[in-house]
Chains A and B, each alone.
Chain A
Amino acid sequence: MKKILDQIRGNKWLQLGLLVGYIALTSLSLILAQRSVAAFLLLLLSFLLLYYTKLPNWSKWAIGLAIMFFILPFSAMQGPAYQEYMDVATLVGIYVSMALGLNIVVGMAGLLDLGFVAFFAVGAYTYGIFATAQANNFMPFGTYPLSGNSFWIFIILGCFVAALFGVLLGIPVLRVKGDYLAIVTLGFGEIIRIVFNNMDQPVNITNGALGLSSIAPPKIFGIELLYSNQIYFVVLFILLFIIFAVRSLEHSKLGRSWKAVRENEIAAQAMGIPLVKTKLMAFAIGASFSGMMGVVFAAKQAFIDPTSFTLLQSINILVMVLLGGMGSVPGVILGAAVVTILNAQVLNELTMWFNSLSTAGIITLPDAMSPVKMQRFFFGALLILFALYRSKGLIPAKNVVYDKRKFLSEKGTKKRLQSVAAPKEDEHDHTGS
């Protein structure tokens, strides 16, 4: 057995073959058995297998993109549960993006933010207010609701507004450190929610606790994107952009400064890292991802109200980051996917299963213990267990190991010197994203 495993570990063609076989098998079973959530989940698992293969990076991406764009939608398309699957996939995309945003703040820069959902709310309300008749109440010009064509501009707008809020929160808050920071951000998150909940008087801006309904769906080339299978592709494009941005930020000058600040603020400052600017950038960039997805969320749900943006949501995103591994991009993607699927599908399935068991009279589970209601229990237990036994998460963050020989060899030195000589380019690179 061990011999076979070793062989698989060593041979990447064998891995490719097995992976393709696995994908073919799971997608086929999803096509044949549309109601089977297990098949859908197993198909999603292929991403994890893909991550662990030893294939070169470009081919991993090629296979991953092929699954996301063609195989997954196609094999889910054949049956009645299509929209349901696509809805889950869309939610996964939204939460992965948010978790990647929080990962920058908590994982990379080491600033514990417990009010992260506030930025999501800001993004969602930015689109929600202008894409309903709500904006007529206070805007002196223009007619509202804006059509779905404006959605694309609002993605960028939501990104900037959320980043602005991130900076506004950051400026005063960065004077406090550690656990105080956590409390202050928690307070900020609650303040944003309460304010949105009460901004229906004296001027009705957010429609208070009633929320905003019938938000205009996005529109492209005259087609309204009403269904989850259409929004799915929008989310996919934004997600890919975010993953690209995070990946390139991670090893940039800014990314390295974040990690330095996380490890030791004073030492980082002594190395010439501007503390305030670095932290503010973390807040702003993290918030902007969340803001973009807020816009998408508002468009997808077509209804938002303050109850979607509670502390539980912030903790939810924190669980994703911790579960995956703080600071680790693939880990956080995995963590977010696992938690979202657990929330959106597995808990429901389990509840239905238990219900069917109890109607069949095999076991009786009190209604209070139905898995859907036990969300807090599971999250709390996950937080404790992971903090105690695996605080680095499912896929721990890897730092680039400093290769001394490569550095000393002539070629390496030259490359190194070039990058030192041209730091401007590096800096330009990340302010743009």
Chain B
Amino acid sequence: MTQVWDTLPQVLIDGLTLGAIYAIIALGYTMVYGILELINFAHGEIFMAGAFIGTAVLIGLTGLGWVAVMPAIFILLLVLVITGGLTGMLGMGIERLAYRPLRKASKLITLITAIGVSFLLQDIVRFITETQQNNYIVNTPSLFPGSLSISGLNIRYSFLVVIIVAILMMVALEFFVNRTKWGLAMRAVAQDQDTASLMSVNVNKVISVTFFVGSALGGATGVLFAIHYGTIDPYIGFILGLKAFTAAVLGGIGNIRGAMAGGMLLGLLEMFAAANLSAITAGLLSSEYKDVFAFAILILVLIFRPEGLFGRAAIEKV
């Protein structure tokens, strides 16, 4: 038990970082699901693409000598904006080419297409990276090196950056969805596409904007991930995306605040499990089981409370 207490502060810090990343990716899933009722499997890959694009931009800026002279915050903002724009376009393009023609098709087919897109993106990123540097595992140059040390507790500067940027992005999204005209249109389309289109809402455009916003956030999160963890490869997106989806389900899919809370909760739980699972079970389960833990949560939530912790149960009408 003492070990649990001793590790708790570090677990909280690591958990919050991971949780913030889950939360923003979960937002992308939840927004798309809220509108199209589609699990956009490719969203995890957009996050991964964001990490790679961000790293490339960062390396490019270092080459130009900008990183050395300008404040790191400015560089970070620049990278975030460029990456967010590019991944947003990527998400919009995917929607236009792969999902829109299938909007009337059966769900099974759309889901299979989403998996296809995700595989395609993984491989495209892999071979672009590999042709560039013969190896698909990339080290991101660290933008915020060093760490604070408070009474034995190790707080990296990049942790603060991740948390602050993540919170800013979430606040901005809340504002966008609840206070702007586009947000209003999005909520209307999510409620009822046909009625919304009768109210002169351009449904296709709203869906495009949703994909843009979700993917831009996902790509920006990729940058944060790359800066904080330092190593990226083309396959980080799938499992991480899956866990973010778990977070979205945990918070009630289609529910934006729920996704934020679900992400934080899942990140904390996972880090807690990773640190303490073997101590709690007296060595029976190693910390390798932390992924099992996340999936088990997903399965349990889906089975017993499919509307999520904060969602309302939908009644199926025949």
Contact = CB atoms under 8 A, between A and B. Distances in A.
Interface of A: 106, 110, 112, 114, 172-173, 175-176, 178-180, 182-184, 186-188, 190-191, 194-195, 197-198, 201-202, 266, 311, 315, 318, 322, 326, 366-369, 373-377, 379-384, 387-388, 391
Contact of B111 (A179, A367, A368): A179
B12 interface: no
A387 B284 contact: no
B96 to A, nearest CB: 12
B116 A384 contact: yes
A191 B296 CA distance: 8
B217 to A, nearest CB: 21
Contact of A366 (B119, B131, B292, B318): B131
Interface in B81-125: 98, 101-102, 105, 107-113, 115-124
Nearest to B239: A190
Contact of A376 (B105, B122, B288, B306): B122
Contacts of B194: none
B295 A198 contact: no
A183 B120 contact: no
Given A182-B111, A388-B102, A190 B283 contact: no
B78 interface: no
Contact of B98 (A183, A190, A202, A388): A388
A268 to B, nearest CB: 13
Nearest to A208: B288
A391 B104 CA distance: 13
B38 interface: yes
A318 B245 contact: no
B299 A384 contact: no
A202 B283 contact: yes
Contact of A368 (B130, B286, B291): B130
14 contacts: A172-B303, A190-B291, A197-B288, A201-B286, A322-B112, A366-B127, A368-B134, A368-B136, A375-B123, A380-B115, A380-B118, A380-B122, A384-B98, A391-B109
B238 interface: yes
Contacts of B292: 190-191, 194-195
A176 B306 contact: yes
Given A183-B245, A318-B115, A377-B127, 12 more contacts: A175-B306, A179-B39, A188-B295, A198-B285, A202-B284, A266-B318, A315-B119, A322-B112, A376-B123, A383-B113, A383-B115, A388-B102
A303 to B, nearest CB: 22
Nearest to A383: B116
A374 B131 CA distance: 13
Contact of B298 (A112, A175, A187, A383): A187
A188 B131 CA distance: 35
B298 A377 contact: no
B288 A183 contact: no
A194 B286 CA distance: 11
B289 interface: yes
A110 B112 CA distance: 13
Nearest to B37: A179
Contacts of B115: 114, 315, 318, 380, 383
A381 B249 CA distance: 29
A172 B119 contact: no
Contacts of B38: 179
B127 A379 contact: no
Nearest to B33: A179
A384 B120 contact: yes
B126 interface: yes
Nearest to B291: A194
A373 B131 CA distance: 13
B302 interface: yes
Given A188-B299, A190-B291, A190-B295, A384 B117 contact: yes
A182 B299 CA distance: 11
Nearest to B135: A368
Given A201-B286, A368-B127, A388-B113, A377 B299 contact: no
B111, B123, B285: most-surrounded residue (chain A CB, <10 A): B123
Contact of B299 (A184, A194, A369): A184
A184 B288 contact: no
B213 interface: no
A194 B277 CA distance: 15
B119, B288, B318: most-surrounded residue (chain A CB, <10 A): B119
B116 A186 contact: no
Given A190-B295, A380-B117, A366 B123 contact: no
Nearest to B130: A368
Given A184-B299, A197-B288, A266-B318, A379 B119 contact: yes
B299 A112 contact: no
Given A180-B306, A368-B131, A376-B119, A384 B284 contact: no
